[in-house]
């Protein structure tokens, strides 16, 4: 692929009716204010939205005519299947993922495009991110998530935890399709895709910069636990064991501590995520 083609990419976002209009507006703005603008913005509407959300989308479409392309799903399918549909609507080989309540630094995509130009074998590149509670001005709530950088480190890290920040990745459409695209795997749609991409030969990298801000709610740590969440994680990792991606030792090293964290009270889970699973 030529350098000219590397300057073009598709932005991909899915939005659900429960999103707050002000959050969606901020997120869409962070897509459209990139220093290298996408030439198409695939916005998957995962089921009918509220009038307020449609108003936000229409105003952004008026400000940037011809960029936003709405993919309307008749009913809510969930993030995995919504993104599966969105991938198939993207015309470019490179696709930048965004979430409807997260905010990217203005030069995030420019820096990711530069990495693809430097290494023609790259298939997926992410960045570190900063989590914030409710509002990006709430700097006291900032939690820095540093991720493994090199291809070797990322593949080793998958044996324990998710190696990418989902709303901060840029990937090749062909590599996603080759791996089978997103599946309907609640809570781990992205982790599941990364592993299958790696199994089909994808080369990975994370930029060692904090180029994405991820909004979390005060009940985040409650939602990252419980029986349903734990069973979904266990089912996913059991599949990795059955397919040979995990050895039995790697399976237990990964699933036992993760299950224990799921069953902790929320306040203890928050401490674990902040002190043990994250790092600045």
Rg (Cα) of the chain, in Å, rounded? 18
Bridge-based pairing of strands 103-104 and 204-216 is antiparallel
pLDDT value, residue 224: 63
Closest CA to 8 of 30, 41, 33, 44: 41
CATH number 3.90.550.10 given to 3-218: yes
What are the extents of the domains in the chain?
A: 3-218, 223-275
Q: Which two tokens stand for residue 127?
A: 């960045």
Per-position DSSP letters for 211-244, written without gaps between them = EEEEEE-TTHHHHT-SHHHHHHHHHHHHHHHHTT
3: Cβ contacts below 8 Å, ≥ 6 apart: 117
Confidence category of residue 6, pLDDT binned at 50, 70, 90? low
- State the average pLDDT over residues 182-199: 95
Helical (H) or strand (E) element with 54: helix 51-63
The model's pLDDT over 68-100, given as tens digits with 9 standing for 90+, comes to 999 999 999 999 999 999 999 999 999 999 999
265: Cβ contacts below 8 Å, ≥ 6 apart: none
The model's pLDDT over 158-175, given as tens digits with 9 standing for 90+, comes to 998 899 999 999 999 999
- State the average pLDDT over residues 214-237: 76
Q: Is the pLDDT of residue 41 over 70?
A: yes
pLDDT value, residue 280: 40
Q: Is the pLDDT of residue 268 over 80?
A: no
The model's pLDDT over 109-166, given as tens digits with 9 standing for 90+, comes to 999 999 999 999 999 999 999 988 878 888 888 888 999 999 999 999 999 889 999 9
Q: Which two tokens stand for residue 58?
A: 């229409």
Greater confidence, 86 or 276? 86
Burial 172-207 (b: 16+ CB within 10 A, else e): bbebbeebebbeebebbbbbbbbbbbbeeebbbbbb
The model's pLDDT over 235-264, given as tens digits with 9 standing for 90+, comes to 999 999 999 999 999 999 888 877 877 777
């Amino acid at each position: 692929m030529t350098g000219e083609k590397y300057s073009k990419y598709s932005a991909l976002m899915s939005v659900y009716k429960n999103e707050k209009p002000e959050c969606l507006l901020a997120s869409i703005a962070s897509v459209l204010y990139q220093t290298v603008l996408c030439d198409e913005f695939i916005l998957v509407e995962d089921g009918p939205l509220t009038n307020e959300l449609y108003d936000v989308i229409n105003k952004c479409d008026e400000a940037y005519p011809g960029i936003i392309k709405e993919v309307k799903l008749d009913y809510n399918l969930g993030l995995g299947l919504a993104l599966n549909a969105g991938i198939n609507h993207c015309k470019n080989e490179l696709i930048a993922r965004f979430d409807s309540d997260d905010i990217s630094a203005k030069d995030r995509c420019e820096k990711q495009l530069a990495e693809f130009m430097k290494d023609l074998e790259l298939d997926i590149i992410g960045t570190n991110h900063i989590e914030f509670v409710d509002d990006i001005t709430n700097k006291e709530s900032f939690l820095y998530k540093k991720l493994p950088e090199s291809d070797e480190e990322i593949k080793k890290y998958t044996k324990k935890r998710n190696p990418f920040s989902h709303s901060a990745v840029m990937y090749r459409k062909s590599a996603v399709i080759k791996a089978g695209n997103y599946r309907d795997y609640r809570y781990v749609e992205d982790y599941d895709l990364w592993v299958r991409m790696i199994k089909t030969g994808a080369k990975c990298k994370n930029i060692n910069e904090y180029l994405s801000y991820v909004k979390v709610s005060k009940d985040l740590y409650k939602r990252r636990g419980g029986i349903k969440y734990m069973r979904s994680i266990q089912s996913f990792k059991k599949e990795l064991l059955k397919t040979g991606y995990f050895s039995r030792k790697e399976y237990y090293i990964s699933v036992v501590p993760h299950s224990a964290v799921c069953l902790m009270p929320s306040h203890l889970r928050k401490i674990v995520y902040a002190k043990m699973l994250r790092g600045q």
